[in-house]
Amino acid sequence: MANSRENFIAGKWSPPKSDKRFERENPATGETIGSFPDSGPDDVADAVAAAAEAYPRWRATPAPRRAEILFRAAEMMLARKEELSRDVTIEMGKVLKEARGDVQEAIDMTYFVAGEGRRMFGQVVPSELPEKFAMAVRQPHGIVAAITPWNFPLAIPCWKLMPALIAGNTVVFKPSPYSPLSAFNLVRILEEAGLSPGAVNLVFGEDDAGAALVRDPRVAMVSFTGSLEVGREIAAYCGAAGKRVHLEMGGKNAIIVLDDADVDLAIEGAVWSAFGTSGQRCTAASRMIVHEGVLEGFTQKLVSRAASLRLGDGLDEATEVGPVVNKPALEKIQGYMEIGRKEGAVVAVGGSRAAGNGLERGYFFQPTVFTEVQPRMRIAQEEIFGPVTDVIPFSGLDEAVMINNDVPYGLVASVYTRDVSKAFKAMEQISTGIVYINAGTIGAEVQLPFGGTRGTGNGHREAGTAALDSYSEWKTVYIDYSGRLQKAQIDK
């Protein structure tokens, strides 16, 4: 097959040892876009061995030199932005303007991390003893396993690979089998940018490859973005094995609309946050917590906007909502329609697979709004990961905050209000890792930490300088130049 791709191990592109492969289809059209290795444990072992061999050399490379390679990679991504964006759309379905945003975030993250190559600040503090110097410096973990999802096939890998590399780690990268093409594109760029052989190794595959990577004893850290169920399995194994682990496991995010909100502005944020990327974002707003005083007007406008959204191939600039990623995703979303109805919720718009105008060739689901939703319903608690949102009424700010916080996840929340006092009270009481005021739940910036609480993560953060804390550890150094034994607290 002309579009056959291979693993990248020790600086070379090589087929899987088993010769097993899988094909990836365009979720909008059903057309095959390429063939990729279905790697097994032997391929993973080779990739980890290559990372282990490369580690001493990469770690010894001065951070500013590592940064120069990443900067070149960012420049290449910028030059190829349109090509990379089209491949994102072709393989996972998001509309082209969103794919460009995905690629831009990858570019931004790579530039940002490259800048850290000349910073990566440590700590220098006064010693309590004379003629003694005290400082703390960062050091890498070793081999990092980066396991990434399909919904942001360039941005999320760059969130993981770039800080891991700048800190001096080597990486084995296993992308989702639903977005392998973007992973190939990224690693090819890193290769062209001059990355040391073995510093990044790319292994395509299904669950067996991921499990083998997590369990390899040479892997010092696992960084995973994906489902809560798989994340908990990884956390349990890494805890028992003493591995560092960084998890990002989704969200059940809400937009809170207070009675003094600019409702039209809130609708714009709601439509973008609920239906952008067909709701397939960990930051998607799948709950609208709306004050009863504006409930009717807000709901009518939201339903009207959802009904008017244009579905289609993401390569068509007129398309507003693309397909979901595959048939199992479509079936999962459809299953939640029945769950919601049985719980007593009402489908105000949408609620089924989209057809007509060629949509039946792909995995399109109608933008859907549930009304008459109670906060403890499954549709208001579980991550559906599709173009589906709930409208939940409330009567006071404290109640809204309680509803927002009473879910298994804690990634992002949004509050629409004109009252600065209410805004700050909400910011204090909302227990998510990210809060927006008068904006939707979408739009993270790379210079600030990204991550959440409860089932969303395990306390680590991606992006910003906080990412360095995930991909490095502290080494404290004391230098005593007094020429005599000083006993610290005993000598005080």
| Whether residue 492 has pLDDT greater than 80 | no
Q: What is the mean pLDDT of residues 126-151?
A: 97
- Report the chain's C-alpha Rg in angstroms: 24
Calpha distance 34→170 (Å, rounded): 28
- How is the chain split into domains, by residue range? 7-249+457-477, 253-437
| Whether residue 32 has pLDDT greater than 70 | yes
Calpha distance 412→408 (Å, rounded): 12
Q: Which of 6, 25, 91, 282 is catalytic?
A: 282
For the chain, how many residues are written?
492
Query: Which tokens belong to 202?
Result: 């790319």
Calpha distance 414→422 (Å, rounded): 12
Specify the higher pLDDT residue, 106 or 207. Answer: 106
253-437 placed in CATH 3.40.309.10:
yes
Q: What is the mean pLDDT of residues 343-367?
A: 96
Give residue 130's pLDDT. 95
Give residue 4's pLDDT. 83
Q: What is the mean pLDDT of residues 93-106?
A: 98
Query: Which tokens belong to 426?
Result: 């909400």
Q: Quick count: other Cβ atoms within 10 Å of Cβ 372?
A: 16
Mean pLDDT (the chain, rounded): 97
> Residue 3 — very low, low, confident or very high, per pLDDT cuts 50/70/90?
confident
Give residue 176's pLDDT. 98
Based on the residue annotation, tell me whether 158 is a catalytic residue of this protein. Answer: no
Give residue 488's pLDDT. 83
Calpha distance 184→77 (Å, rounded): 13
Based on the residue annotation, tell me whether 282 is a catalytic residue of this protein. Answer: yes
Q: What is the mean pLDDT of residues 121-145?
A: 97
| DSSP 3-state of 159 | helix
| Whether residue 248 has pLDDT greater than 50 | yes
Tens of pLDDT, residues 441-480: 998 999 999 999 999 999 999 999 999 999 999 999 999 9
Give residue 436's pLDDT. 98
Calpha distance 297→348 (Å, rounded): 14
Q: Quick count: other Cβ atoms within 10 Å of Cβ 211?
A: 17
For residue 111, report the phi and psi dihedrals to the nearest 5 degrees: -60, -45
Of residues 319, 313, 340, 385, the one with CA closest to residue 90: 313
Give residue 307's pLDDT. 98
DSSP count for the chain of H helices, then E strands: 14, 21
Q: Which segments within 249-377 are labelled E, that is strand?
A: 253-257, 285-291, 346-349, 368-371
Give residue 236's pLDDT. 97
> Residue 489 — very low, low, confident or very high, per pLDDT cuts 50/70/90?
confident
Query: Which tokens belong to 359?
Result: 């949509």
Q: Are strands 143-147 and 170-174 parallel, antiparallel or unpaired?
A: parallel
Topology annotation, domain 7-249+457-477: Aldehyde Dehydrogenase; Chain A, domain 1 (3.40.605)
Q: Alpha carbon of 457 to those of 250, 381, 400: distances in Å?
A: 8, 17, 23
Tens of pLDDT, residues 249-273: 999 999 999 999 999 999 999 999 9
Give residue 2's pLDDT. 54
Query: Which tokens belong to 339?
Result: 């769950």
Q: What percent of the chain has pLDDT over 90?
A: 97
Q: Which of 248, 320, 383, 462 is catalytic?
A: 248
The pTM score is 0.96
> Residue 1 — very low, low, confident or very high, per pLDDT cuts 50/70/90?
very low
